């Protein structure tokens, strides 16, 4: 037993994957036959945008930060792209949409890297401002109608051999993030800054450029997620990615990334996103009222994190 616990502590992915299968098992018990290829494909389809947005949280949390503007940034990119497409065409609309995301990321980066504002406050503030801008923008363009680029719909809702097309975007994306976090200097620096900022400085690392690049990257990832989610939901709205906002933090936390930095990684986050998606299905199946869903959601984040802390401290 203790040996098993130790194994889990050394590799936190194992208990997470066990939990995922436990939840799937419970789902099958609740409604026999639900777990089939089509369901798996659907689950993946909804988990992909969540996992992508959670990449923003994972990367920023590694340095001890957080990006609470990710959901808003995703929404803005999607909304701007959808409203501009009928006016100026797909390529230009995409470019402008993604530049909005990058700009928001750069503003975050500026505040955090140069002015040294706490990331939680800085990104909340950016979200607030960005949301205001979106409301103002909306009043000028809503009349012109919206159009969602076809390839986004293909990515968001299409299937190939029962698997969602979103994987065509997600698999390279995940591989890139995983490679970046372990095998590049930039990735290592994220961990280093989160683990001990003064030690990192004394080793000759300039923290500013790292934070600047990190939050800009986070903004860009949020923007791309917004586009994918747009293709999935197919109706641009001012609260498009809002349902993903807090779950993206939850996915990273469940996945074992320490909110204080220096520990964790994207592999756990992917499993975390899957767990949350399966859980959402289960709650819908049980016809939980919205209130009870939120309560359960909160309790699960808490329990999983507490369990995870217990396990890693044992070793």
Partner 1 sequence: MIRFLTQNSWTLGLAALLILLLITTKLIQPDFGVSGLDSLARAALPYALATLGMAVVVIAGGIDLSLAAMMAVTSVTAATLMQGTTDGGAALVVLAVLALGATLGAINGTLIVTTRVPDIVVTLAMLYVWQGTALLILNAPGGSAAPWLRALIVGGVTLPYIPPALTEWLPKGVVFLLLTLAIIWLPIRRSKLGLMFYAIGSDPLAAFRSGIAVGPTKIAAYATAGLFAALGGLAVTMSTGIGEPIPGPYLLTSVAAVVLGGVTLGGGRGGLIGPILAVFILRLVRMDLTLLNVDPNITTIIEGAIMVVVVMFGAVLATRGRS
Partner 2 sequence: MTQTLTQAPILDAKGVAKRFGAVTALHDASLTLHKGQIVALMGANGAGKSTFVKILTGALRPDAGQVRLQGRDFTATSPATARRAGLVPVYQEPSLIPDLDVADNLRLGNTDPVKFRHWVNELGITDLRLDATIGRLPLATLRILDLARALAAEPDVLLLDEMTAALPTDLVARVLQVVRRQANEGRSVIYISHRFTEIAAICDRATVLRDGATVGDLQIEPGIEDRIVDLMLGGQIAPAATTTIRATTGPTRVQIRNLKAGTRLTDVSFDLRQGEVLGVIALEGQGQDELFDVLAGNRRAASGSLTVNGTEQTFTHPAQAIAAGLTLVPGDRAHALLMTRSVRENIALPLIARFRNWGAIQMHSEATRVTAAIDRLQIDTRAMGEVRRLSGGNQQKVTIARWIAKGVETLLLFDPTRGIDIRTKRQIYALVRDLADQGAAVLFYTSELAEIRLACDRAVVIFNGRVVDIIDAADADEPTLMRAAYGLKASA
121 binds partner 1 (CB under 8 A): yes
Q: Please calculate the CA angle 82-83-88 and round it to the nearest 5 degrees.
A: 100
Instruction: Check residue 259 for interaction with partner 1 (CB under 8 A).
Output: yes
- Among 120, 178, 180, 238, the residue binding partner 1 under the rule CB under 8 A is 120
Q: Segment 173-212, which members bind partner 2 (CB under 8 A)?
A: 183-186, 188-189, 191-192, 195-196, 198-206, 209
The one of partner 2, partner 1, none whose footprint includes residue 235, by CB under 5 to 8 A per kind, is: none
Which CB atom, from 143 or from 290, has the smaller least distance to partner 1? Answer: 290
Task: Decide which of partner 2, partner 1, none touches 234; Cβ closer than 5 to 8 Å per partner kind.
Answer: none
- Beta-bridged to residue 164, according to DSSP, are 159
Distance between terminal CA atoms of the chain? 13
Structure tokens at 131: 């949301």
What gap in Å lies between CA 122 and CA 66, rounded to an integer? 10
159 binds, among partner 1, partner 2, none (CB under 5 to 8 A by kind): none
Q: Half-sphere exposure (CA, 13 Å, Cβ side) for 206?
A: 6
143 binds partner 1 (CB under 8 A): no
Whether the CB-CB separation of 87 and 144 falls below 8 Å is answered with yes
118 Cα distance to chain centroid? 20
Least distance (Å) from partner 2 to the CB of residue 101? Answer: 21
Q: Which two tokens stand for residue 52?
A: 């992508």
Binding site for partner 2 (CB under 8 A): 6, 183-186, 188-189, 191-192, 195-196, 198-206, 209, 258, 262-263, 314-315
């Amino acid at each position: 037993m203790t040996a098993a616990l130790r194994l889990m502590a050394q590799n936190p992915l194992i208990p997470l994957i066990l939990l995922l299968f436990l939840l799937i098992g419970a789902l099958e018990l609740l409604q026999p036959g639900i777990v089939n290829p089509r369901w798996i494909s659907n689950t993946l389809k909804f988990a992909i945008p969540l996992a992508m947005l959670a990449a923003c949280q994972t990367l920023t949390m590694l340095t001890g930060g957080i990006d609470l503007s990710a959901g808003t940034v995703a929404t803005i990119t999607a909304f701007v792209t959808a409203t501009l497409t009928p006016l100026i065409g797909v390529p230009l609309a995409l470019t402008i949409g993604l530049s909005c995301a990058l700009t928001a990321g750069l503003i975050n980066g500026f505040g955090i890297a140069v002015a040294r504002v706490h990331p939680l406050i800085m990104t909340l503030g950016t979200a607030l401002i960005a949301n205001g801008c979106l409301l103002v923008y909306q009043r000028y363009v809503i009349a012109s109608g919206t159009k969602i680029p076809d390839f986004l719909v293909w990515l968001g809702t299409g299937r190939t051999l029962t698997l969602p097309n979103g994987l065509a975007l997600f698999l390279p994306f995940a591989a890139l993030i995983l490679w970046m976090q372990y095998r590049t200097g930039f990735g290592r620096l994220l961990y280093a800054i989160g683990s001990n900022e003064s030690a990192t400085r004394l080793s000759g690392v300039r923290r500013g450029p790292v934070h600047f690049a990190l939050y800009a990257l986070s903004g860009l990832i949020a923007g791309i997620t917004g586009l994918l989610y747009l293709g999935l939901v197919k109706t641009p709205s001012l609260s498009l990615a809002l349902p993903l906002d807090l779950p993206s933090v939850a996915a990273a936390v469940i996945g074992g990334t320490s909110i204080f930095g220096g520990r964790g990684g994207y592999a756990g986050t992917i499993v975390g996103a899957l767990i949350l998606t399966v859980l959402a299905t289960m709650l819908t199946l049980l016809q939980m009222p919205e209130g009870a869903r939120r309560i359960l959601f909160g309790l699960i984040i808490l329990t999983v994190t507490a369990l995870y802390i217990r396990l890693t401290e044992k070793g």
